[in-house]
Amino acid sequence: MSYGPPRPVARLLLTPEDKEAPARAQRLLRLGLAEQPDPALDAFADRLAELAAAPYAMVNFIGESRQFFAGLHVRRPVSLERVDDTKPVLGRHMERDHGFCPHVVVRHKALVLEDVSDYPRFAGNPIVDEYGIRSYLGAPLIDSTGMALGTVCVVDVEPRAWGRAGLDTIKASAAELTMRLERRAADGLPL
């Protein structure tokens, strides 16, 4: 039996380490995708929400310390941050350890969570309690360099059986938007 100082307890890393974050932040700046809302990306999120029949849809770019929703569709008016001590309202910024998009970016793979409460790793995420999110469907925006710039995603406050059609839709939407973003950067064209 040891009576020395207690050893540190290893904690479960819920948000994966993101070694690409510094390079991604620089790439987003070069592409002109800094933290500014973009009406064309809002329109893209609106269309994605309609395709998925989801109340929320986002085009999300992940920086070094937080996430930014450059495109955002919500079913009710949005405040940019927490209004008071009540339940926060989904806005344009979110901490990096909130939500599921950072997992998609690090993994470079789509993620389907039909009911987040079925997954202990995700059920304890702050957005489950703070925003009432119960289901998620997201895919990475992987550019021609192989870097995941961010995600396109849809979420719901109810469990959802997204199915193969939902997965195919989100992946195709991510590929389409990535191509449009790169074309815009290369040619100066609008989205």
d(Cα 90, Cα 80) in Å, to the nearest integer? 7
For each of the domains in the chain, give its residue range(s) and CATH number, in order of start: 21-185 (3.30.450.40)
Residue with tokens 């304890």: 124
Would you state the pLDDT for residue 191?
54
Q: Can you state the angle between helices 163-187 and 39-52, rounded to 10 degrees?
A: 160
Give the pLDDT confidence of 121-164 residue by residue, as tens digits: 787 777 777 778 899 999 999 999 999 999 999 999 999 999 99
Residue 89: what pLDDT? Answer: 54
Picking from 97, 114, 116, 115, the residue whose alpha carbon sits closest to that of residue 106 is: 97
What is the predicted pLDDT for the residue at 190? 54
DSSP label at 116? G
DSSP letter string, 24-44: HHHHHHHTT-SS---HHHHHH
Tens digits of residue pLDDT in 3-17: 555 444 333 446 778
Q: Among all chains, which residue has been given the structure tokens 């396109």? A: 152
The pTM of this model reads 0.83
Per-residue pLDDT for 65 more than 90? Answer: no
